[in-house]
């Protein structure tokens, strides 16, 4: 199917939305309530475009492509409508970007920059921060919330924890946990899905606060070591220290989602008590050893036990925290090298 967006002729897939087609072809249309994993919500109306032959403005996140369609993303009418929406969002919240943890990765900030908004056009009465600090890992500041609903869609639809919803009406509307209790007293399991999906600084990682700006970190993609699912994660590293973990968007098996362990259980990485060299116990106390010395000692003792008592006197226990390939090697080592089928796994115990 052929369409034109911003004077570029594109070949797009049937069933795609205009926003998806634009993104796939590197054309920026601002959006806030849309996320690839939560889909179109049609709430914020920041992604409006004009289409030749169609009256009015249309939300590109919910408008399907059709043959020959001509989409205009930057007409005066479009930009004016987008500016109005973003100005209203900025004016009704407390958006003090300098001190905001999301500064630099905030989608609202990006849209304001794209539209050339330097200061909010409307001046509202002073908005007070409305903080919910009760959760161990998740920090809420309702005054930065733009009511896009991405956190709610993620909590209810993606991870199906069903904690979040909109509560109250009109200008009192806000995101609530359960029956409007503090998050730390709610049924929240602290998976951080809402943190990952929030486009602003309204829901953020509590542990990362004050640890470093996004531009001071670099990301390293790796596999979560907590279980055999193999979720793909990004380590956010500053000064050789992991200060945050996020799920890798767009990559399976988890496509950005994580559990509480994978997202927040990383402090052992930087813990000074973490073992970094093998230890050998002699006369009841441990001493540090090289890998060569430790492996030689293990091999010597396994050989001794095998000769004295036979291979079935040895058993091999493996772990859910290592990869399938490493588990495969462990059982191969037990069966082919030692000669025993005594193989087990901590996840069964």
The binding site for ligand SF4 (CB under 6 A) comprises 95-97, 100, 102-103, 106, 108-109, 138, 144-151, 154-155, 159, 161, 163-164, 175, 188-194, 197-203
Work out how close the CB of 194 gets to ligand SF4 at its nearest, in angstroms, rounded to a whole number: 3
Scanning 105-192, the segments in alpha helix (DSSP H) are 107-114, 150-153
DSSP character at residue 127: P
Residue closer to ligand SF4 (CB basis): 129 or 228: 129
Residues 6+ apart with CB under 8 A from 274: 268
Contact in structure between 57 and 47 (CB atoms under 8 Å): no
**Cβ atoms of residues 148 and 31 within 8 Å:** no
Smallest CA-to-CA distance from 93 within 199, 181, 209, 212 is with: 199
Which is nearer to ligand SF4, 46 or 163 (by Cβ)?
163
CB of 347 to ligand SF4, least distance (A): 24
Residue among 193 and 234 whose Cβ is closer to ligand SF4: 193
User: Would you say how long the chain is, in residues?
Assistant: 349
Supply the DSSP string of 65-115, one letter for each residue: P-TT-EEESS-HHHHHHHHHHHHHHHHTS---GGG-TTTTT-HHHHHHHHT
Nearer to ligand SF4, 173 or 346 (CB): 173
- CB nearer ligand SF4, residue 149 or residue 262: 149
CB of 253 to ligand SF4, least distance (A): 18
Shortest Cβ 321–ligand SF4 spacing (Å): 23
Q: Rounded to the nearest whole angstrom, what is the least distance from the CB of residue 171 to ligand SF4 in the complex?
A: 15
Q: Smallest distance, Å, CB 224 to ligand SF4?
A: 16
Q: Which is nearer to ligand SF4, 161 or 327 (CB)?
A: 161
Q: How far is the CB of 331 from ligand SF4 (least distance, A)?
A: 36
**Pairwise CA distance, residues 77 & 70, whole Å:** 16
Q: Which of 51, 40, 115, 125 is nearest to 84 (CA)?
A: 115
Considering the complex, state which of residue 256 and residue 338 has its C-beta at the smaller distance from ligand SF4. Answer: 256
- Strands 343-345 and 316-318 turn out to be parallel
Compare residues 109 and 318 and give the one whose CB is closer to ligand SF4. 109
The minimum distance between CB 181 and ligand SF4, in angstroms, equals 12
**How far, in whole angstroms, is CA 275 from its chain's centroid?**
29
CA distances from 52 to 33, 68, 166 (A): 25, 10, 36
Closest CA to 137 of 191, 177, 175, 179: 191
């Amino acid at each position: 199917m052929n369409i034109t967006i911003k004077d570029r002729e594109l070949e797009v897939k049937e069933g795609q939305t205009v926003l998806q087609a634009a993104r796939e072809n590197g054309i920026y249309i601002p959006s806030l309530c849309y996320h690839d994993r939560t889909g179109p919500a049609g709430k914020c109306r920041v992604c409006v475009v004009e289409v030749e032959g169609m009256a009015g403005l249309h939300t590109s996140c919910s408008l399907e492509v059709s043959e020959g369609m001509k989409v205009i993303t930057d007409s005066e009418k479009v930009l004016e409508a987008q500016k109005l929406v973003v100005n209203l969002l900025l004016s009704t919240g407390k958006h003090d970007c300098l001190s905001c943890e999301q500064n630099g990765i905030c989608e609202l900030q990006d849209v304001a920059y794209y539209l050339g908004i330097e200061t909010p056009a409307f001046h509202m009465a002073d908005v007070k921060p409305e903080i919910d600090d009760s959760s161990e890992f998740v920090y809420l500041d309702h005054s930065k919330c733009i009511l896009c609903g991405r956190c709610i869609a993620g909590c209810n639809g993606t991870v199906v924890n069903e904690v979040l919803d909109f509560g109250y009406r009109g200008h009192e509307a806000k995101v609530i946990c359960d029956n409007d209790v503090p998050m730390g007293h709610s049924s929240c399991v602290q998976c951080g899905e809402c943190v990952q999906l929030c486009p602003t600084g309204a829901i953020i990682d509590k542990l990362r606060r004050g640890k470093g700006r996004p531009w001071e970190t670099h990301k390293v993609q790796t596999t979560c070591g907590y279980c055999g699912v193999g979720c793909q994660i990004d380590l956010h590293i500053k000064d050789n220290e992991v200060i945050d973990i996020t799920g890798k968007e767009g990559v399976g098996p988890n496509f950005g989602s994580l559990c509480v362990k994978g997202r927040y259980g990383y402090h052992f990485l930087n813990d000074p008590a973490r073992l970094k060299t093998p230890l050998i116990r002699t006369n009841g106390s441990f001493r540090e050893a090289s890998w060569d010395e430790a492996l030689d000692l293990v091999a010597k003792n396994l050989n001794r036990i095998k000769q004295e008592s036979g291979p079935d006197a040895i058993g091999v226990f493996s772990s859910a925290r290592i990869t399938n390939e490493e588990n495969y090697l462990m059982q191969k080592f037990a069966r082919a090298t030692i000669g025993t089928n005594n193989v087990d796994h901590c996840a069964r115990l």
